Structures are given as structure tokens and as C-alpha cells.
Structure 1
Amino acid sequence: MERGVDREFIHTCSLWTFILTLVPIFSSLVEGQPQVIGSSQPIIAAPGDDVILPCHLEPAVDARGLTVEWSRPDLKPDPSDRWSWVRYVHLYRDRRDDLDMKIPSYIRRTTLFTDDMKHGNISLKVMNITSEDEGRFKCFIPNLKSTVKFSFVQLVVDPNLFTTEMPLDPRNVRTPGPDSQTRLGIWILGVVGCIVPCLAVTVGGYFIIRRRQKQVGEEFTSSQGVSFEGTLTVVDEDGGIVHLPPLDLFEDSNQQHHQSQVDSQDQQE
């Protein structure tokens, strides 16, 4: 009984947590306010890769006049740097990049797509990824007139994306995903689907031609009174039946043709 009550209590708490999470989002949508949207899926990269941490405003709003802060909320402050707790992965304000408050390890490694910021694109490009970059990144617009001013992007650095062999460009090596395997399967099915009908038409046409040739041969032999069943059977002028091998028949036919030509020449003389 107590377990049933506990499960019901947990379910109720989870439901209310979910509802409370959605309330700011729905209220923002109802009022037509822009909200910061990150990535619901983790971004996976190999060491040495250049990656893009996606983040944008929805509906699209020109972000060039806004302050954009990219930070590492899970990154522990450096005890030797008293300002490390307020430093950023990337800071954009007053329509330019602010390098003074940047984490030293990210200097010359990050950039925004400034040409696309007018369309609400505030994605961050991080170059030459290392294992130290793994973790959560926070995209925050403090002066945005909205209840949803920030979002998180999870970056996963997987060294196993490298192969055991040394490729020309190791950063481009990736394990084929389901989409690639699906396209390969479709391509194979397409090739097989083309070859099989062509092969069937070729074989079928061959047998049709052979059958037609056989029918023509039978019609010819029937019209000449010849039957090809083991030996050749010929009906002579007196109605007698003579059995000859196939070779003898043609030789005899040639002799008769030659004799008829000789008789014709004698009559002309």
C-alpha cells in the first residue's frame, strides 16, 4: 500500500515539475516574445574538430544590438584568477566581441556568425576541440525581453571517433550513421532492381527466339515431307518411303539439283 502511495506521489511530482518547466515557454509563446533555443541533442565531436554549438532566437529577432554570453556553468573557477568566475567562453556586447572577459583557453578559438545574427542566429563555433571542452555550454542574452533568456548545449568529446589507421584528415572520420546505412541499402536495392529485370528480359528473349527458330524449322520440314526423328524419312515420286541419314539427304538433294542443271543444258543444246 505504501509503495503504491509513493509511486503516485512521485508521478504527481514529476508531472508538476514538467508543467512548471513548460509554463515559461508557453507564456513566452502566447505573448509573442522571442526565446533562446539551444540543441535538445548533445553535440558529439572528436579531439581536433571544429564544432558549432547551435543556438538561436525564436521567433527570429535581430541580435546584433543585444549582449550574447556563452559560458561554462560547470567549469570550476581558477583559484589563481580572481575574475575566473565571471569569465566567458565568448562575450559579445556593444556590437563587437569583448576579449577582456574571455577564458584564456578559448582565445582565438571561438567566433559568432555575425552576418547571421540579424536573423537571430547566435550559434557559437569552437575550433580545435580538446577533451577539456567537454561539458555544458550556456547561451544567455541578459537584456532579452523574454522569460526564456538562456539555453544549454551539451558537448561530448569522444576520442574513439578516431580510426586505428592514419587517414588524410582524421577530423573528418565518422562512424556511418543510420541515415548513411539506409541510403546504402536503397542504392543496393536500386541496382539489383535494375539488373534483375534486364537479365530476365535477356533470358526470356533468348528462349523466345530459340522457340521461334524451332517452329520455323518444323514448318519448313513439314512442307518438304521430311521428318527428323532419328533418321530422315523421304517420300519419293512413286509413293515409296526411303530412310536416309541427314547428311545423305542433303548430298542427294545437291546431286539431284546438279543433275537437273545438266539435263537442262542438254535440252538447250
Structure 2
Amino acid sequence: MALFAEFLAPYGYAEQSLLKRLQPPGFLGGLPEYLLGTDNLGRDVLSRVIYAMRTSILIALMGTVIGASVGTVLGIVAAHFRGWVDDVIMMLVDFQAAIPFLIVALAVLAFFGNNFVLLVVLIGLFGWDGYARIARGLVLSTNGQGYAFAIRTLGVHPAKVYIRHVLPNMMGVIMVQITLNFPEIILLETSLSFLGLGVQPPGTSLGLLLGEGRNYLATAWWIGIPAGVVIFLTTLAISLLGDWLRDMLDPNLKGKDA
């Protein structure tokens, strides 16, 4: 739905019709052309939810790629150099895990102001510590097996060893971590947008829709509730996908009953 929003949404997400504002869903006696009703500006709720899904998933995807890349690279660097480099990186990992990231993100956005690039970078920094821990542990395990050391003794540059041999063996575990971390990033983005520090009007996102609908819960619940349902279903679906991938890719779980 997010990918084909232009074809699935019956109206534009910013298209207004003040004469049709606060119409209930069509299946509850409202206008039949508005399946999920209209908001306080007469915009089609269904269309806004579909476009909001695209925005939230796109931000979460970009943030996930940033976090996974930064964390994996730092984990490999820590395991390769060891010593004080390892100590510094793991200290940063512990610091990241100890602080409430939502509070930090709120403070940064409130101080520097809202812009899309800063929002994506902030969301990308969420969860990198998990990837760093995983990458470091996998590299140390791989180095202990000896084949990586044997390849390096043949004169192959360490970077090529990690890219061609170590990283491909890590991708299964990294992909599982991505699917498990992705719902948390969606919730982070929706939380920031709900509080007014994420995506800004006239743009749209699931958190922004939820925030817009909170003032109308008693009189026009259909403005915010659909976005909340979509957030729940999206995070649940991706979490289930992560559990399935873990079962399929983890050799210790293969052949066992769920």
C-alpha cells in the first residue's frame, strides 16, 4: 500500500473540502465516497493514512539502513583493532544503551529545529549499539575459527577479508536484527511526530495523524484511530517476520518445533 499510494489512495492527502469536514466513515452513515470519513479540514482519512504509511515506512527504512551500517562498521572495527579502540567503541555502546533515546531526540529537535534530514539521522542513530555488539561478537567468533586469519596470511587486505568472507556470513543475523529493530524505529518516528517534533504539515505520517486526531477522540474518533490501528498492524507484522527469519536463519533453531 505504501509503495503504490498514488494508485490506491482515492484522493490527495492534502486535498480539502471544507463543506464535507468531519464526515463519519461511509460504513457508519457518512458519505459513501469517504470510506474512513474526513478530518477537520475535509481531507479523506483513508488517503491520508495510505500516504502516511509511506512516509513512516520510508523514514524507518532510511533510519534502519543508517543504524545498521554505522553499528556494523563500528563493531567490525572494534573486533579488528581490539585494545583501546575496542574499549572506546564499547564505551559508546554502553552509553547509547544507558540513555533514554527519545528524550535525547526531543531535546535535539527542539534545540536545532525541525528538518527532514536531521530527523532521519537521529532516527538512524537509534539502535546502532545493538548492531555493533552483534557485529563485534560475530567477528571475534569468525577470527577464532581460523579461516579469516588463514586468508590474511596469504596477503589479502583485511578490508577484502571482511567484505568478501566475514560480512556475508554475518548478514543472516544482521537481517534478523533489522526486522526486530524496525518496529521500534517506526514507533520512535510516530512518537516524535505525535509530539509535534517529527514530520510537519502539510506533510503526513502515522504519528502526525494520530496527534491530529487526539483532539477529536470524543467527537470524530475516525481521524486518529485508523492511524493507530495501522501502526499496531505494521509493527506486529514486521515483528512476526523477524521471528520467522530468526527461526529460518539461526542454525540452532532449525529443525526444532516453534
| Fold similarity call, TM over 0.5 | no
Structure number having the greater helix percentage: 2
Output the TM-score relative to the length of structure 2.
Answer: 0.23
Output the TM-score relative to the length of structure 1.
Answer: 0.22
Greater Rg over alpha carbons, structure:
1
Structure number having the greater strand percentage: 1
